[in-house]
Each structure stands twice: as structure tokens, then as C-alpha cells.
Structure 1
Amino acid sequence: MNAASSNPGTRERLVAAMREALSRRGYHGIGLNELLATAAAPKGVLYHHFPGGKSELAIAAIAAVAEELAGSLDTLMLRAGGDPAGALEAWMGAAQKLLERSGFERGCPLATVALETTPEDRALRSALASVFAAFRAHLASALAGAGIADSRARSLAALIVSAYEGALLQARVAGEVQPMRDTSQALLDLIRLSLPGVKGA
């Protein structure tokens, strides 16, 4: 059996293993052999799916995170009846529970990789920049769809992403979720004040 006839799902297992590694240990925190063992994949299969090796796999994992983020936001907005505050509250609450269940080991894979990249990691940085920009735009669109002015929606989206990443980082190192709770409440207040019909919006 050659790489091209590998078992269905091998690529997905590799991406999932990399996503988990990025969220817990970062890009440089896991070796290629350990990653392959986690995915139950031989090295030849890795290079069949990802000729660029570990770096290309990491970029694929980052893209998968981006797709999941956008899908999650759409789902939460739908469940909240188009209310961005309700969607954000559910998102932050789910992130807190996930962090607690992981024993405060599982952070955001995007931020984890971003913090450890260097100027030489141009492909990774480019992928991360694109993902952050796309998610900010997606979030801004959701906020604008709720009636918030476009310019305000863009600035709020940037603030939400930055505040979320910072709160998650603080909660992770502190070993408790209070930074996320405080940040969530502040963001909810800002969103509600920005909605149409609210005095001062």
C-alpha cells in the first residue's frame, strides 16, 4: 500500500492531532514523531498529504480552526435569535468550560502559535493574520447585522477578538476563569450599549 491509498480519514486525523498539539503545547512544543503517533499515521502519509511537512500541516490546522470559528459564530447567532450579546455570552461560557475541563492546558491554538512565531515563520504568520482578519470581518458582519453601525461593528469585533485572546491567556496561566468572566461581562455591556435604540449608542 502506498501513501496515495492510505486509509480514509488519515488527513483529518493529522489535522486534528496538530490542532490539539497547537492548543496545548504550541507549534514547537511537539515533535513530528509524536504527532504522527498521535494521528496513527506513517511519515510517508504525512508528506503525501502535506508536502511541506509540519509547517504545511500546521497551516491546515489553522484553517480548520478558522472554519470552525466561523461556523460556531453562525450557530450561536442563530440560537440567540440574532442577538450578538447572547451569542457572545454562550461563546465565552463554552470557552470557559473547555478550559476548565482541560485542566487549564488548552488555549486558543491561534494565539499559542502566534506568540511563538518568529519573522522567519512567514507562512505561519501569514496564515494566522489571514485567519484573524477573516474572523474579525465575520464577527463585524454579525454585529452589523444586529443593527450596529459598520464602523462601530468593526472596532467592536477587533476588541472582542483581542479581549478574548487576552482573557484566555490570563485564565490559563492563573488556573481559574475569573479573567474570562470579567472580560465577558465588559464585552456584553459594550455590545448592548452599541445596539440600536440604546441611549448613548
Structure 2
Amino acid sequence: MKTLSTRDKLIHAMADALQRKGLRGVGVSEILELSGLPKGSLYHHFPGGKNQLAVAAIDYISSQLDKLFAHLFSQHEHPFSALQHWLNGALGQLENSQFERGCPLATIALESSASDSEIRAALARSFAALRQALASQLEQQHYSSAQAHNLAALFVALYEGGLLQARVAGSSAPLQAAAQALFDLTEPRKTTGARP
């Protein structure tokens, strides 16, 4: 297994903290404790401090999306099986963390303000990358470009909204219900082999 650089240790620690606590809920001391690094290393690699590190963590998350979806879709014959597997993984992670570990992007997005321009720009890039990574896989499943992009946008909205509701409710039911509604709507097309 590859040893992480100091910079990457900080990014991974921040990505983990963002998923659990969001940007406002985590302090520099916690990030340093998670990474096992001294304070000077943070400001050496990220002179802009916590916000600059958060942008790097968001960009890191974005950089993993193509690989994630390519692997996921290669493991499942039908695209909706791949999406169901992704949802189940997110729900499992949420439940195993006592509904603490949600989507790092949504957590930060909800607490950001207009003054957080760099954070919001990174989030916009990341959500766009998420939709694009998903749409690319759907296009490989013979969906038209427009269908793939529309379905990706719908699914990301469903995933983010359902995950937030599940986290607040302390129950996976909101996300499961939303996903089942989407899959039920598409089931006739799935069984006839037609695409939406």
C-alpha cells in the first residue's frame, strides 16, 4: 500500500472530518490529530489554513468519482443495480456511524455562505464532476447524452436530499423510499429492455 505524503494525510483527514462534522464543526486541532501531524505542516502545505485545505479535500473527492463509478458499473449488469449498490453503501456507512457520516459535499454546502466563494466554487466543481461521472457511465449503457445527463442530475438530487433526510431522521427510510420510487418508475423500461 502506498504511503501517503504529508499533504495527502492532511487532505484525507479533512475529507473524513468534513463527512462527519462539516467545515464549521471541525477544528484545526482535530484535523492535525486525525492526520498525526504537527501544526506547522498544515500551514506549510496550506498557507490559507482550514478553508484552503477544505478546497483541496473537496477537489480530491471529485478526482475519485470517475474511478468509483467505472468500478461500480463494471460490477453490475444493469445501471440501476449499480446505483442501488451505491445507495446501499451510503446507507450502510450512515447507519454504521449512528447517522453521523453523511455526504461531505452536502454537509459543507448547507453551511456555506455567499462569502465562502472558494468553497462554493469547489463544491460546484465537485457536484458537476459527480453528475458527469454518473452520466458517462449511463452513456456507456446506451442512454443518449441528454437522457444520461438528466438521469444523473435526478439521481444526484435524490441521493443528496435523501441522505440528508436520513441523517436528520436517524433512519435510512427517507433515502430508501426516494430510491424505490425512482426505481419503480423506471422498472417497466428496465424489464422491456428499453431505455427512458
Amino acid at match of 2:145: D
Correspondence for 2:161: 166
- Structure 1 residues 151 and 195, CA gap change in structure 2 (3 angstroms): farther
1:66 equivalent in alignment to 2:48:
no
TM-score, scaled to structure 1: 0.88
In structure 2, the partner of 1:4 is none
SS in 1 for 2:61: helix
Query: What is the deviation of 1:109?
Result: 0.3
- Selected match of 1:132 from 100, 123, 127: 127
Residue range with higher mean Cα deviation, 117-126 or 130-139: 130-139
For 2:64 and 2:107, the matched residues in 1 are separated by 17
Residues 143, 195 of structure 2: 8 Å contact kept? no
Deviates more, 1:163-172 or 1:187-196: 187-196
Match of 2:25, SS state, is: coil
Residue-by-residue CA offset, 1:126-175 (whole Å, 9 max, x unaligned) = 00001111111121121121112221211111110011000000111111
3-state SS in 2 of match to 1:147: coil
Q: Which runs of 4+ in 1 moved over 3 A?
A: 189-201
**Aligned twin of 1:149:** 144
**Aligned residue number for residue 40 of structure 1:** 36
SS at match of 1:144: helix
Q: Distance in 1 between matches of 2:132 and 2:186?
A: 16
Please state how far the C-alpha of 1:86 moved relative to its aligned partner.
Answer: 1.2
* Distance change (3 Å), C-alpha of 1:136 and 1:191: farther
Deviations, residues 12-48 of structure 1 (Å, cap 9, x unaligned): 2211211121111110111112221221211211122
Checking the alignment, whether the CA contact within 8 Å between 2:51 and 2:119 is kept in structure 1 is: yes
Equivalent pairs, count: 194
Partner residue, 1:55? 51
Residues in 2 aligned to 1:141 and 1:195: alpha-carbon distance in whole angstroms: 19
* Equivalent residue in structure 1 for 2:10, among 11, 14, 23: 14
Look up the equivalent residue of 1:116 and give its one-letter code. E
Cα drift, residue 185 of structure 1: 1.6
Tell me the C-alpha RMSD between the 2 structures.
2.1
Return the letter of the residue paired with 1:12.
D
Name which of 3, 23, 29 aligns with 1:27: 23
Aligned to 1:99: 94
Q: Work out the CA distance in 1 between the residues paired with 2:191 and 2:49.
A: 49
Q: Which moved more, 1:181-190 or 1:44-53?
A: 181-190
- Which amino acid in the other structure matches residue 156 of structure 2? V
- Aligned partners of 1:146 and 1:8: how far apart in 2? 35
Counterparts of 1:186 and 1:176, CA distance in 2: 17
